[in-house]
Amino acid sequence: MIQTANYTERKKFEIFDSGHVLLYLNEQPAEITNEETGESVPGYSYTGDMPDGGTMIEAVGVTDENRRDKFVAGLIGWHYDMDAQIAVLANGADTPEHAAELEQFMELRARCKAEVDELLGRNV
């Protein structure tokens, strides 16, 4: 289930535990209203599979040097488990059906890279 959360400050990612990271994707501008005062301030909205608007991915051994690669691989893994990835890549484009599956996978891979690049490029 996709969930949305709003924050007054921009978010990028949080290390959740030794094997998982929360990515804050789909950033949109948002107005955040203080329930007590009724005052509104500008903020940011994120959507993901977690209640805090984050998207939890598997990522082990994340460092500053490998962060982008780990996040891209984890986000692809959020959509395709490892067995499905291997099957799509091993099948290649040997049939029209396999070619279509490979094209969909490559489009998703490009989207994941773009999402991670946008996330890592945010000024927080």
**What single-letter DSSP state applies at residue 53?**
S
**What single-letter DSSP state applies at residue 71?**
H
State what percent of residues in the chain have pLDDT above 70. 100
pLDDT tens for 20-40 read: 999 999 999 999 998 889 899
pLDDT tens for 27-80 read: 999 999 988 898 999 999 999 999 999 999 999 999 999 999 999 999 999 999
List, as one string, the DSSP characters of 72-124: HHHHHHHHS-HHHHHHHHHHTTSSHHHHHHHHHHHHHHHHHHHHHHHHHT---
Going from N- to C-terminal start, the domains of the chain cover 3-120
The pTM of the full predicted model, rounded to 2 decimals, is 0.91
